[in-house]
Chain A
């Protein structure tokens, strides 16, 4: 690892500003499959590390899965649900998807922009989550050509606690430098049948937001301190800056799964 990346990441960690971040979830519990399976996916917009306020999602603009370079639109598979957050209910979505063949399945959500009244801006988090079947890698490290996205440089479905995760932030396919990326983990149990976050937290909540800044090549590296589902949200890196006459923060989000190497 380059010393400069580590230094900038550490500096960002200690100089973080705002409290806790919005994160668009595209969640399914099992991300490394040995056998064919019917996946249940939950799309929820919340504050996963704080286990705080859950926000209403609008009808997603796009929801698709990319397998071996082929994009399949599964927007019609989405069903609206009511999600029970630890402190509030919110509109969310769910979908099912059958995984059979070996390889990497990349689920991408392009949500309807969300009006964040407290900041008077719209937030649109373009979100990727990864599933692997049969241990065969088939494209987890390839960009999808999204307006903005985080390209993983480690297998996102197999990261080990105590190791690091490196991503490259792209905006219209080009590295995006100097962008703030917020980092959280899902800090509660998820009830897949009950569409709910547990009201109890699983782990600590840092005093301030965890942040890494992208370097000149759009890269950031973060040491994963504990097992869990970790999200990275790079803020305002997308090309669209305005929506319905107001500022738009078009963010890139990626989810990774970290386990203990035991």
Chain B
């Protein structure tokens, strides 16, 4: 039987996933910017101010195909060449801790 504490953890994770615009303890945060010159820069972190270094990040196209994958740098950043067409950036800090950013929201 699953311990109560694990149920609580799963519940909290679900709560965070449903409330991506607000911030709770250790909520993942990610913003991306069109840097001009054909590149996109994403910066990540957590709502308690901790670093996102080493966190997985990937870019998927309009058909959910992974275009590229990587990890956040020691400065909690990830820069990549801007794909053609629509795409989405997924900052993946684990189950219930992913931030998805649509290319329409990535502006200069």
Q: Which residues of A contact B (CB under 8 A)?
A: 34, 36, 100-102, 133-138
Contact = CB atoms under 8 A, between A and B. Distances in A.
Cβ-closest 8 pairs across A and B: A137-B49, A135-B23, A136-B45, A134-B31, A136-B29, A102-B31, A135-B29, A102-B43
Interface in B22-73: 23, 27, 29, 31, 33, 43, 45, 47-49
Contacts of B107: 36
5 contacts: A36-B33, A36-B107, A135-B29, A136-B29, A137-B49
Interface of B, helix, strand, loop or mixed by DSSP: loop
A142 to B, nearest CB: 11
B76 to A, nearest CB: 9
Given A136-B47, A138-B49, A100 B33 contact: yes
Contacts of A134: 29, 31
Contacts of B27: 135
A134 to B, nearest CB: 5
A158 B47 CA distance: 13
A36 B43 CA distance: 13
Given A101-B43, A102-B43, A135-B47, 8 more contacts: A34-B21, A36-B33, A36-B107, A101-B31, A135-B27, A136-B29, A136-B45, A136-B49
Contacts of A138: 49
Nearest to A138: B49
Of the listed residues A36, A101, A135, A138, the one surrounded by the most CB atoms of chain B closer than 10 A to its CB is A135
A137 B48 contact: yes
Nearest to B105: A35
Contacts of B31: 101-102, 133-134
B25 to A, nearest CB: 11
A133 B30 CA distance: 11
Contacts of B45: 102, 136
